[in-house]
Amino acid sequence: MAKPFIAAYKAGKTMPTITTDQLIYWYRPTPKGVNCDSTDNAGSKPAGADLVKDNVYVVSLLTAAGRVTVNSGGTVYAFDAPAGASAIAVPFHVGAQSFALDGAVKHSAVSLKDIVGECVCGIYNYNAYVGIVPPPKSIPALDSDGLGFMTRGQSQCEPKPSLPATPGEAASHTGATSTVFAVATDTPA
């Protein structure tokens, strides 16, 4: 998401030039109301947990105006996004999260990470899950040292990486009209 802003800054421009249509989304995997006190190793919600909103956040980077649709757990939100960079936040709902762009080029994707109303791995997880529509053609693999660092201290469940095992391959699943892609793991950091 930062690339067009960095390029604009280096060129002395105040606004980025968008050359590729893209949606970037992020959200937490559980609502803030989920109670993990009995299973979380800290025994209580993290400080400031009540300050966070149960939202899905979407940034659209568009070469021309388009329509962005977010389906959060079966509740559909749609908005018209202008050319350039814009952002929205919509309330999230438990269930699958999907995203669509109807613009110069149509794109859609279903996230690999549902929002669930339970304690994943028995802990509070306020880490953002991030995705991109359309997915990049290649992404780097997480090496064993990186995975080991992420999983150190995790005793309640095994990590389930959604990044590819082979560098350069995107983790994807193709459905009838969508591509599924993720850039995070199922393991809370």
Q: How many CB atoms are closer than 10 A to CB 155?
A: 9
Q: Which domain holds residue 34?
A: 17-134+173-181
**The pTM of the whole model exceeds 0.85:** no
> Is residue 75 in a domain?
yes
> Is residue 106 in a domain?
yes
Please work out, in degrees rounded to the nearest 5, the angle formed at the alpha carbon of residue 13 by the alpha carbons of 8 and 18: 45
More confident residue, 155 or 101: 101
Order of strands across the sheet that contains 55-62: 84-91, 55-62, 22-27, 129-133
State the Cα–Cα distance between residues 33 and 50, nearest whole angstrom. 9
Model pLDDT, residue 59: 96
Alpha carbon of 17 to those of 4, 85, 176: distances in Å?
A: 6, 9, 33
The pLDDT tens digits for 38-87 are 988 888 888 888 888 999 999 999 999 999 999 999 999 999 999 999 99
> Is residue 53 in a domain?
yes
> Is residue 152 in a domain?
no
> Is residue 10 in a domain?
no
> Is residue 177 in a domain?
yes
> Is residue 8 in a domain?
no
More confident residue, 136 or 37: 37
Total number of domains constituting the chain = 1
> Is residue 36 in a domain?
yes
